[in-house]
A and B are shown apart, each in its own frame.
Chain A
Amino acid sequence: MPEALHPSLVYLLGAALVPLLQGRARQAAALLVPALGLLAYYAIPVGAVWTARLLEFDLVVLRADPFAMLVLHIFAVVSLLGTVYVLGRNDPLELAGGLLYAGSAIGAVLAGDFVTLFLFWEMLTLGAVLCLLARRRPAAGRAAMRYLLVHLLGGVVLLAGIAVHLGSGGGLAFDRMPLQGAAAWLVFLGFGFNAAWPVLGAWLPDTYPEASAGGLVFMATFTTKTAVYALARVFPGEPALVVIGCAMVLLPLVHAALESDLRRVLAYCLVNQVGFMVAGVGLGTGLALNGVAAHIYCHVLYNALLLMALGAVLDRVGSVRAGDLAGTGRAMPLTALFYLFGAASISTPFFCGFVSKSMLAAAAAKGHHGAVSLVLLFGAFAVFLLAGLRVACLAFFSGEGGSSKAAGTSDAPLGQLLAMGATAFLCLFVGVLPGAFLLPMLPDQTALYDAYTLGHVSDQFAGLAAAALVYWLALRRGWLPAPVQGRLPGIDWLYRRGGPLFLRLADRSLNPLNAAVSRLVVGGLVPALSRFLEAGGPRLACLFMGPLWRILGHEAPRRAAERDALFRRAKSGTFPIGLTALLAVVLLGLLTAFYYVGGK
């Protein structure tokens, strides 16, 4: 039985209430909701299970095991920080979207059955759409529509998997499932849409940069992490996930190295980091799943910080494109400092990302997955260069320019600085003291890993220094590829180009076929059949009666008149009773004759 309020309900009620309020009342309510949500987290004892009945289903609406509680904690923390970040704008759409999003993600994470999971899973999409619409420009509206379509498709695939699973007697439990049979594959793919797998995940770099500054903090926190959590629940140790995860680590890197929209660079890097988590789920050991949980926690923190800083630049300067941001570092020094904290948190020792990534790397190494270890190592250094050095340099250290858009701007507003400062502190705190609360929250306390050994720390520093050296040398020599100003084609290019191509092919093949069939059937066959059905019978009757009239000695004019009369009557189906009787007698006679002939 519930002894406290379901945390998800706190956010969902808040999301419904906040847009109805005005001014400071709205801000106060919006701030109160995530604060209460965080309190609700502390009110739930680890191990609690709450059930409810919906129609004929016994639902587990809350399953507070350690893994769920860890994800719930970071979601609650970041929804509070994100709300502080967006509070200054006081945009009802952004505030409500963020709260709805947080409530849905928390509901999905706490779900213990597939029905509850699916309900909250679909609500996530609505939260994301509100965060996109909060940007209030046509491109964001179009991105919201694309996001909605892709995620509805993903939701349908997931629902189909759940339905087949239920139909085959698989039960409702949101728990481990072998990747065998249609149900498991559909659920697997349904999760894959939200986890932004290769081919299924083009929506992420497409839509994220269109969100509002604060909206993107929520978007980058909830959807992919909820999907990784779901994968870890249902498909831990599935080898296919190792391959998918490694592909996610590698594939977005070139785009991140060439993209000019810096929030899109971070979107590509987000895919790379989710790849670490997906690969960890695929490894499936206790240490790997601890690494996944820890990396969900740490990545949510430092990714939120990076996006908050770039969001502050977007709000102040009006652009986050390479080439528009000269002088931003000087105009927004605190924001630049917080960005550097986020960049350091990606994989530098004494920051949070180092702790979690080390667990995943150790899990791959202990399992003797040499290729996976090298891919993860490559991905870690690459993302440090791209999200760390490249974006930091382009956003904050692009020198000075007389016509810079940053000229005359000031640092981020107080609310944004507070949110960034608190997030930066958490990144550092978790990195320096992982044993304070991150490690005790991990799901498998028998598989912990100490990242702070002398050899590991010195190796990591050596790697980061060497990577930075090559990057600076390339910059010095002019070897860095210049950013591409337009939208870089990704895997979506195949269907963006393939779609119109398919339409053209269909137009040129199916439409002529349709026209030919139309000419043959509609223009020829059907009218002929119609004519036959209309006049065929009367003509046959005339054909039959003609010789009879001739035998009876009727003259030609009379025969013609009789033929016309018969044709009219046969066509309208009105015969004199005598003639009908005669025909009936003839028919009976014929039948009798056939009967005897056939009998002999």
Chain B
Amino acid sequence: MAATESDPSRPQTPPPPGDRLLRGLALATGGLVAFDLVLILAGYDKHPHFPWERLPGFYAVFAALSAAVLLAGARLLRRPLAALSARDQAEAEGGEAEH
């Protein structure tokens, strides 16, 4: 079956998750950060190579920041990229029409 153009009226993003999923994730993140703190307090040696690895919950905080930076960057660049894309598409359609 050939691919066809998508219908812009259809939902472009998945439906928002329910509260239960969000609460579960928040609980899991908090629990794992607490577990990390317990490990550190219990003297568990994670063989850190960098000072930041000694911070309790570093990986959770870094991952959350990474996700936020990625999504913010994508939001920021969406408008110029979409504008360029639309211009390219219009020119391509114009070129095809000429042919």
Contact = CB atoms under 8 A, between A and B. Distances in A.
Given A466-B61, A472-B21, A482 B3 contact: no
B97 interface: no
A485 B4 CA distance: 12
Given A399-B15, A462-B36, A470-B71, A318 B1 contact: yes
A462 B85 contact: no
Binding site secondary structure of chain B = helix
A249 to B, nearest CB: 12
A443 B5 CA distance: 47
A421 interface: no
For B3, B21, B60, B78, which residue has the most chain A Cβ atoms within 10 angstroms?
B3
B26 to A, nearest CB: 6
B60 to A, nearest CB: 4
Given A324-B6, A373-B50, A465 B32 contact: yes
Interface residues of A, number: 77
Interface string B87-98: 011000000000
A84 B89 CA distance: 38
Contact of B88 (A326, A370, A459, A496): A496
Contacts of A542: none
Contacts of B70: 253-254, 257, 382, 385-386
A321 interface: yes
Given A318-B2, A476-B22, A482 B67 contact: no
B60 A466 contact: yes
A406 to B, nearest CB: 11
A403 B81 contact: no
A49 B29 CA distance: 52
For chain B, which range describes its interface: under 10, 10 to 19, 20 to 34, or 35 or more residues?
35 or more
Contacts of B12: 260, 322-323, 482-483
Contact of A455 (B3, B8, B39, B84): B39
Interface of A: 137, 253-255, 257-258, 260, 314-324, 326, 365-366, 368, 370, 373-374, 377-378, 381-382, 385-386, 393-394, 397-399, 401, 403-405, 453-456, 458-476, 478-489, 493, 496
**5 closest cross-chain pairs (CB), A and B:** A318-B1, A462-B32, A463-B63, A257-B74, A455-B46
19 contacts: A253-B74, A370-B50, A377-B66, A461-B28, A462-B35, A462-B63, A466-B29, A466-B60, A466-B63, A467-B63, A469-B25, A470-B64, A472-B17, A480-B13, A482-B78, A484-B82, A484-B85, A486-B89, A487-B88
Interface of B: 1-8, 10-17, 21-22, 25-26, 28-29, 32-33, 35-36, 39, 44, 46, 49-50, 57-64, 66-71, 73-75, 77-78, 81-82, 84-86, 88-89
